[in-house]
Amino acid sequence: MPSALAHRLCVLTVAFLLLGLSGFGSAAGPAATPTPRRPNLLFILTDDQRWDALGVVQREQGPQARWPWFQTPHLDRIAAEGVRFRNAFVVQSLCSPSRAAFLSGQYGHRNGVTDNSTHFPAITMNQARLLRRAGYATAYIGKFHMALQKERPGFEHIASYTSQGEYYGSTFWVNGVAQKTKQWVDDAATDYALEFMRARRDQPWMMVLGFKTPHTPRQPPERARQRFAGESVRPAPNAAAMPAYGKGQRAYRGEETGKPVETDTDSAGNDPYLLNYFRTLSAIDDNIGRVLDELAALQLADDTVVVFASDNGYYLGEHGLGDKRSAYDESMRIPLLLRYPRLGRRGQVIDEMVLNLDLALTFLELAGVAVPPEMQGQSWLPLLQGKPVSWRQAFMFVYRFERNLPATPALIAVRTPTAKLIEYPGHEDWTEVFDLSADPHERNNLARDPAQSALRQRLQTELAAQKEKFGDPFALSVAAIDGKSPQPK
């Protein structure tokens, strides 16, 4: 009897399954919703691009814009079709440490990269390696900037060059084979990126596309050499607010004042040198357009997360400075855009403070890959989804002294949405405190104002909490603190 009953149940089960399959996708039953593919993850990174070197930001600033003539239509398109983070920062304003933080989700004193002379360790926490294990194709294209390192840990496909490369004539190492290029370097990198996208269109992929632009010596391609001819950069409102440690940080031609040097032209007699900062950015914007168009042509646009950022900010006359490294906002603040059509966010801005530490966690969560507890950032996904979330109200910033570039001393800082503390180990008298809500250009140092002692104490308490949570950046290397460095001239 049990055997007969089992047989009848088996027949009924098969009949039920067949009935269900016969109705799948038919007019008689609801159509099944296909499961969206895991998103492609594209990270585009420039070198030394300021947070406000975007057309969309210049328009937003209106009469206060310093270069209102600057246009970046394709980057503006990402902002219009996605999200712009208005308060994005790096935790160290230096190329290699910032790039390592993007990849690892960790501060430099955790991932091992604290200067521009260190290779990215193969054993370091690495989002690319985790994504590759999860079935993603991974590619690193263009500028990597970890000294002379040829390896790209975690990336299976490589078309990249060592160190700074050259604007013309860079040698790309394509999966171990040297290929000398004649093109403008960022055009060549874009070509390699498009090739990878076409070859992997049927598999989820993660790709970093690194541009050399706008790093010195700033040589735009022929098509951009006359762009913005006759334009000039308006003076910085805080140009006269000298750093507490004194003026002495290196700057390039025109950067100390923020104005082009009218008598300084290239061999072809082109326009002033400082304008090439914007010309090279305009030329990579052309390449952004090529990438976006190719995603659309491959029908991958809806399934691709595009993130655009810079490795650090840059001074163009603020505090009488050029270059980066120190802890004023123009150095630590970066442009950051994200487009992922499936999120349904278009033309929106997010004002919470986000960091380069956050990218790895965001990509992993979007890919459905577990985030290791060793990562120190926060995923942007709740912000992108508009969900209530307890978000950071402070972050720690650090710079380690470089003996070959002694103009900037070692420093550690904490920034909140409304205030900042900067401390210089070994130089307590250089301490700076700024009320950013009243003084966004950081002109009025309140460190020795008795009326602001409570603000200074709150910030010092917050900095101590950041060290406790993320580790003291200087505790592992006393040599990084150079209290005996010469006084800036």
In this predicted model, what pLDDT tens digit does every residue of 76-104 receive, in sequence order? 999 999 999 999 999 999 999 999 999 99
Confidence of residue 125 (pLDDT cuts 50, 70, 90): confident
Report pLDDT for 105: 97
Residue 136: count of CB within 10 angstroms of its CB: 25
Confidence of residue 486 (pLDDT cuts 50, 70, 90): very low
Of the given ranges (19-28, 57-66, 258-267, 414-423), which has the lowest mean pLDDT?
19-28
Q: Which are the contacts of 334, defined by CB distance < 8 A and separation ≥ 6? A: 49, 50, 51, 88, 89, 90, 309, 310, 311, 312, 313, 356
Report pLDDT for 252: 62
Domain ranges of the chain: 40-384, 395-480
Amino acid at 93: S
Q: What is the pLDDT of residues 454-464, one digit of tens each?
A: 999 999 999 99
Contact 158, 173 (CB under 8 A): yes
- Residue 466 to residues 114, 206, 411, 461, Cα–Cα distance (Å): 18, 31, 15, 9
263 class by beta-carbon count within 10 Å (0-12 exposed, 13-18 middle, 19+ buried): exposed
Average pLDDT over residues 114-135: 92
Q: How far apart are CA 378 and CA 399, in angstroms?
A: 22
Report pLDDT for 407: 84
| pTM attached to this predicted model | 0.88
> What is the widest separation between alpha-carbon atoms in the chain?
103
Of the given ranges (1-10, 235-244, 393-402), which has the lowest mean pLDDT?
1-10
Confidence of residue 26 (pLDDT cuts 50, 70, 90): very low
Average predicted confidence (pLDDT) for the chain: 87
Of the given ranges (51-60, 140-149, 336-345), which has the lowest mean pLDDT?
140-149
Q: What is the CATH number of domain 40-384?
A: 3.40.720.10
Q: What is the 3-state secondary structure (H, E, C) of 56-76?
A: HHHHHHHHHCCCCCCCCHHHH
Q: How far apart are CA 278 and CA 266, in angstroms?
A: 15
Q: How far apart are CA 117 and CA 471, in angstroms?
A: 22
Of the given ranges (62-71, 73-82, 112-121, 435-444), which has the lowest mean pLDDT?
112-121
Report pLDDT for 37: 82
Report pLDDT for 18: 33
Average pLDDT over residues 15-20: 34
Confidence of residue 272 (pLDDT cuts 50, 70, 90): low
Q: What is the pLDDT of residues 283-339, one digit of tens each?
A: 999 999 999 999 999 999 999 999 999 999 999 999 999 899 999 999 999 999 999
Query: Residue 2: is its pLDDT beyond 80?
Result: no
Q: What is the CATH number of domain 395-480?
A: 3.30.1120.10
Query: Residue 266: is its pLDDT beyond 80?
Result: no
Q: How far apart are CA 289 and CA 400, in angstroms?
A: 37
Q: What is the pLDDT of residues 355-367, one digit of tens each?
A: 999 999 999 999 9
Q: How far apart are CA 203 and CA 156, in angstroms?
A: 14
Report pLDDT for 414: 98
Contact 180, 169 (CB under 8 A): yes
